[in-house]
Amino acid sequence: MPLPYYHIIHLVAVMALFAGTGAALGASENEGLRKLGGILRGSALLLLLVSGFGMLSKLSLMKAMPLWVWVKVGIWVVAAVLPVFVKRKLLPGSAAVVLALVLGAAAAALGYLKPF
């Protein structure tokens, strides 16, 4: 598959991740919406992982992955568990929203700038 397709899938998955996280965090009373948010988040996380590594393969970066890739994988892990932190009351919902935006901005900057 050409590189632009991986990029488009990656960006759509980011949007789905934020939508699913918002649904999971905001739907405390609505069980159906919370489940839909969880399904959307899980699917988005899988698509992010597959499309991200697909882009790395197309860019011939799979053999010696730079540090920025590992930082983005760490961001991916934190984004995956963010709603769990809120559900277990380890993090307030408002802080989770701000953290999600900061993580998203950091991941975007790392992906486009590839600083290290």
Q: What is the pTM of this model?
A: 0.85
What's the token pair of residue 107? 């991941």
- Residue pLDDT tens, the chain, 116 long: 999 999 999 999 999 998 988 887 776 678 888 888 889 999 999 999 999 999 999 999 888 999 999 999 999 999 999 888 988 999 998 898 899 999 999 999 999 999 98
Q: Identity (one letter) of the amino acid at 36?
A: L
Query: How far is Cα 84 from Cα 93, in angstroms, rounded to an integer?
Result: 11
Residue of 115, 114, 93, 116 lying closest to 28 (CA atoms): 93
Rg of the chain, C-alpha, whole Å? 15
Taking the domains of the chain in order of start, what are their residue ranges?
3-113
How confident is the model at residue 73, as a pLDDT?
A: 95
